[in-house]
Structure formats: structure tokens, C-alpha cells
Amino acid sequence: MSKVMWGFTCSIDGFIAGVGHDMSWMSAAEPLAEGTIEKMAGQVAVIISGRSGYDAAKAQHGQRDETTSQAYGGAWSGAEFILTHRPEEIADDPTIVAMNCDVEEAIDRAKKIAGNRDVQIISADIARQALERDLIDELQVFVAPVFLGDGTRIFDVSGGRRVEWELVEIFEDSPRSFGRVYRPKGIH
């Protein structure tokens, strides 16, 4: 059965992107063991992204390295949903599905496409919306040994509710990057 995962690599100080969605800091992340990225990518059928990240990736196309220019460094193939209030502006991009809907509808549509594979959210804002509705089944976290000081925070909700997680898997092959998978407590 399909799971909804929120997956990211963050800096030690809690950012998933630098200022202007800069991703050059990802070179500080530990390379994963051979085959790990391909295995993780093979589990994901649909990625749900946000418009800001999409726009930044397009604008930085020639500047990003092999790891950050494509999902899973190019090892992934599937459908990418971009949630935006202006889907008509990017509707001519054949590599994505531009959608103007709430996160719940996007996840429902993604799960229908995913079948037995997973849906992965890679946007902090979309993940926040999904967490508010208890729609995330797993959290996949890697930490790069770098301080960014500013950028896009992993999770930033003034007055938000507390969410506790339980450890379900450790990526033993990446001890420097603290690779972990968590599930919300009480959900199995």
C-alpha cells in the first residue's frame, strides 16, 4: 500500500535550502552507499513539490550539480505534481503536472497513480499543510554537516502543534549524515 513520505536533507541548523533556494551546500552531505539512492528512488512513484522550489530549480538549471539538478540525482522516474495557484503559467512543461488544489486532493490523486509505490513530498510548506491534516505516514531525514544560517526552514509554524515521531529505520550506511526514517507515534 502506498505511503506518504516527507523526505529531505537538511543542514544542522534546520534548513532544507539556502537563501534563494540555493542547494550548493548539498555537496557537504555524505555520499550514500552504492545502490541506496536507486533503492529509495525506486520506492517513489509520485513527488509533490511546490512552485517556489520548481521556479528555483528552473532558474538555477545550469548551476546545480548532478545531485541537485534532478530528483534523486536522476535515479528517479515517475510523476511530479507541482502545487501552484497559477498552473496555467507552467502547464506547457511536459515533465510535471501543474495543479491548483489543496494538499489533500493532491495526495489522493498521487496515491491513485502510485499504486504500491510511495508518494513523496519535498516541499516544506506542502509538508506543513499535510502534517496539519495528519496525512504524512513517514518522515525520511538526512542531515548534512553544514550550518546555513538562513534559507528555507524544515518546519516553521508559529503557534503550531507538537508532533512526535518514533524511529523505524536507521540508514547504517550513512552515519555522518544521520539518515533516519520516522513515523508519527501511534501510526503503524
pLDDT tens figures, 102-125: 999 999 999 999 999 999 999 999
What span, in angstroms and rounded, lies between the C-alpha atoms of 16 and 143? 9
What span, in angstroms and rounded, lies between the C-alpha atoms of 37 and 66? 13
The amino acid occupying position 29 is A
Q: What is the pTM of this model?
A: 0.87
Number of H helices and E strands in the chain, helices first, is 4, 10
The pLDDT of residue 65 is 60
> Domain coordinates of the chain in residue numbers?
4-184
Q: Which residue numbers in the chain have pLDDT < 50? A: 188
Instruction: Kindly state the DSSP code that residue 149 receives in the 8-state scheme.
Output: S
The pLDDT of residue 135 is 95
The pLDDT of residue 188 is 44
- Note the CATH architecture for domain 4-184: 3-Layer(aba) Sandwich (3.40)
Cell of 13: 541548523
